[in-house]
């Protein structure tokens, strides 16, 4: 059975993603990325507390959470494709 071709983003899409990532990093300090990562993972699992949700929504900008969710989703999809390609 033939394996599917790997998925590749066009160069322009990669550049846009990196520009958004750089902008988000400059908008908030590096130390807060850990909190964003925790919030994104908690939201993906559906276990975020009400206190943490209020803290996230009060942070002033939504872009780090959007970018974190996008990166998590792409990584999750690639992980599923990898597992399925290994099994099949």
Domain with 29 in it:
13-87
Q: Report the predicted TM-score, pTM, of the whole model to 2 decimal places.
A: 0.59
- The per-residue pLDDT for 31 is 53
CA pair distance 17, 31, nearest whole angstrom: 21
Q: How many structural domains comprise the chain? A: 1
For residue 76, being part of any structural domain is answered with yes
Which carries the bigger pLDDT value, residue 2 or residue 37?
37
Residue 70 lies in a domain: yes
- Residue among 4, 10, 6, 14 nearest 71 (CA): 14
pLDDT band at 43 (very low <50, low <70, confident <90, very high): confident
- Examine residue 8 and state whether it is found in any structural domain, yes or no: no
Q: How do residues 45-73 score in pLDDT, each as one tens digit?
A: 888 888 888 887 887 778 888 888 999 99
């Amino acid at each position: 059975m033939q394996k599917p071709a790997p998925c590749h983003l066009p160069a322009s899409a990669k550049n846009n993603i990196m520009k958004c990532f750089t902008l988000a990093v400059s908008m908030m300090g590096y130390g807060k990325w850990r909190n964003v990562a925790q919030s994104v993972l908690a939201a993906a699992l559906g276990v975020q507390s009400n206190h943490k949700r209020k803290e996230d929504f009060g942070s002033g900008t939504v872009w780090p959470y959007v970018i974190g969710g996008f990166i998590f989703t792409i990584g999750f999809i690639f992980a599923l494709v990898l597992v399925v390609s290994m099994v099949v």
